[in-house]
Amino acid sequence: MMIIRHAEHRDIDDIYILAAKSGVGMTSLPQNKEILAARIARTQNTLAGRLSKGERGYLFVLEDTEHNRVVGMSGLEVAVGLSEPFYNYHVGRQVHASQALTVYKTLNTLFLSNDHTGCSELCTLFLDPDFRENQNGKFLSKVRFLFIAAFQEHFEAKIIAEMRGFSDEDGRSPFWDALGHYFFDMDFSTADYLSGIGQKVFIAELMPRFPVYIDLLPERAQQVVGQVHPQTKPAFHVLENEGLQYQGYVDIFDGGPTLEAEVKNLRAVKESRICRVRILGQEDIDQECVNQPCRVQDNTNLDKLTEKSPASIGRLPESCLVANEDYEQFRVILINHQVDANSIELTLEQAQQLQVNAGSKVRILPLNSTE
């Protein structure tokens, strides 16, 4: 069975193996066991309420319980830029015009920006290539939205996601080679690694403060501004379907796009809901579906889920994320059968993995958008 839970110290060896497999461009997943162990510790300290807002973060792991092995990760930052600077480029425009010469020229520019300071962030999504099947990737990505929906009070009003930009098979970034390389005098993988382990002061010290004209960059670099790495395209589309959009911000290292959304507009906030558990083979108890997704007053959610056809009324789509409501021991599974509107039936094994009993409340979310 596949289950997602908070990262624990016993996961460090598996996480380090995944970091080694992630390659260049995964800034938040450096191949440094000490840094990765600190990331796990930060998750545990966040759950215990021992950190300030700017230091809080969560790391989730996808565990193959049959082989007792962690095969994927995804993360959340509560508020970026409060304890260390958070930089990106804003893609803007400048107009150069002369009425006397009948010249009117609009040029795209890059401005160094801290506009996303204080936003929550989706980060660190990586799945072992051997497990990129059976909807594991979607499961791993979307669990973060379900966690946010359940515990909105722990997050900010806006959430962002920096997507991995284009780099070639040798790990070279055309964007970095055309711009950052001239200010930092180091290769892309080194700069990316330093940023990943928290050494970001050099960015403020060395990056140009004046706008950079995109049209002056080599054509190959221009073409990758706002483009994602080929391996990241599926993740990009998943986030778009969850409500995030590109609003003209890109990464300063590889030019990858930053997606953003208001938390209140996320699909998980609008469509997730709470039901009570029935255990397969056990005697039914009185159960009620509580239609108050994510503690947001929106009584239209069930209608949105069931308006597709009369036959679907009262039932959810086939693939659903099911999570307990325990903040510190948060656990999620993916089920692949229909779910009644008033309750959810789990096997004894599924209930044990979620650490719930008959009558417990769980939060459910369709894996795929109904729109």
Catalytic residue list: 229
Residue 1, CA atoms < 13 Å, CB-side half-sphere = 17
What DSSP element (H or E) covers 352? helix 348-354
Q: What is the DSSP letter of 180?
A: I
What DSSP element (H or E) covers 324? strand 319-324
The one-letter amino acid at 226: G
Q: State both tokens at 220.
A: 């190959």
Burial degree of 279 (CB within 10 A; 0-12, 13-18, 19+): buried
The CA distance from 365 to 309, in Å, is 19
Residue 251, CA atoms < 13 Å, CB-side half-sphere = 30
**Closest-CA residue to 62 (of 116, 1, 16):** 1
- φ, ψ dihedrals at 269, nearest 5°: -70, -35
Torsion sign (Cα): 336, 337, 341, 344? negative
- φ, ψ dihedrals at 219, nearest 5°: -55, -40
Q: Beta partners for 105? A: 96
Q: What is the DSSP letter of 179?
A: I
Q: What is the DSSP letter of 153?
A: G
Pairing status of strand 158-162 against strand 120-127: parallel
Query: Ramachandran region of residue 134, left (φ > 0), alpha (ψ -120 to 50) or beta?
Result: left
Q: Are 30 and 39 in contact (CB under 8 A)?
A: no
